[in-house]
Structure 1
């Protein structure tokens, strides 16, 4: 596997394809998204990584600054922006009740999501899927992006129920303005 990572070392996703840069998700950067388990740009703990590399797939604790008034729903997207594909890999998508002030560790678990959390489909499956980069590929950045939406995401996207829509289709279906947004980047390398 190390050889494959080295061969793909210079192949990375186009970061500008991340949710953060989508026209429908632009807005003021007024939210501060943090975790007490890693700082912005710091290495993520093994327990937050995928089971395929010895982790627990445990989503980290996340907290955010107060939401702007009029927030109807929160959209959380976690993407690996260094995956050797054309677009970032979506590791988790969740719709969150704005009454939530943060997420406890494991709140993005597909089998038992936290209160106020509705998990959507991602590139990998439903729920949180932690880092698991190709060995030898170099550091991967995992970007947690939180958007405060003025209008909730519709229950159907292109005639499919919202929880069955592909992640990119769901992101393109956001209709309301983004009142505020924030992001936190964790790094992992094998």
Structure 2
């Protein structure tokens, strides 16, 4: 697999494809998102990697400040813009109660048992998918993007429930961004 990673080393989806750059998700960058598990742009601990990469597939703890008055819901999107695909890979989409100011380690995992956290689909399955870059492809960024929405996402295109919808359909249904913030972690499989 390392040989494949080296062959694809220069192929990356790119920053421009992230939810962060979607026209319907633009807004003031006034949310401050942090994690006790890693610093912005630093390497994430292996516990937050996928099992195939030696991790436990456990979502990191996140905290944030600056949620504006009038926020109806928070949308959290985790994407890898360094995957060798046409678009960033979605590692998780979550709808959070507006009153939350943090999520504990493991709160974004597929069981969805955390109060105030609605676990939606990811690019493959449901819930948080840990970092799992192709061996030899180089470091990958994992963008944890948080959006404060003026209105909740209750349905997506065609009236479908967000829990049954593909991640991109949920992102397309979002709008009215009052604030946003982001923290990026890095991970590499040598």
1:69 paired residue number: 69
Separation in 1, partners of 2:180, 2:159: 28
For residue 84 of structure 1, report the CA deviation from its aligned partner: 0.2
Could you tell me whether the CA contact under 8 Å between 2:71 and 2:149 is conserved in 1? Answer: yes
For structure 1, the residue ranges without an aligned partner over 5 or more in a row are none
Could you tell me whether the CA contact under 8 Å between 1:83 and 1:89 is conserved in 2? Answer: yes
2:92 paired residue number: 92
For structure 2, the residue ranges without an aligned partner over 5 or more in a row are none
For residue 130 of structure 1, report the CA deviation from its aligned partner: 0.6
1:56 paired residue number: 56
Separation in 1, partners of 2:40, 2:22: 21
For residue 98 of structure 1, report the CA deviation from its aligned partner: 1.1
Could you tell me whether the CA contact under 8 Å between 2:112 and 2:119 is conserved in 1? Answer: no
1:15 paired residue number: 15
Return the TM-score normalized by structure 1.
0.96
For residue 100 of structure 1, report the CA deviation from its aligned partner: 1.1
For residue 113 of structure 1, report the CA deviation from its aligned partner: 3.3
2:187 paired residue number: 188
* Number of residue pairs the alignment of both structures matches: 189
2:140 paired residue number: 140
Q: Look up the SS of the partner of 1:37 in the other structure.
A: coil
2:46 paired residue number: 46
For residue 112 of structure 1, report the CA deviation from its aligned partner: 3.9
Q: Look up the SS of the partner of 2:74 in the other structure.
A: strand
Return the TM-score normalized by structure 2.
0.96
For residue 124 of structure 1, report the CA deviation from its aligned partner: 1.5
Separation in 2, partners of 1:126, 1:40: 25
2:24 paired residue number: 24
For residue 156 of structure 1, report the CA deviation from its aligned partner: 4.1
Separation in 1, partners of 2:172, 2:72: 18
Root mean square deviation, CA, Å: 1.0
For residue 66 of structure 1, report the CA deviation from its aligned partner: 3.2
1:130 paired residue number: 130
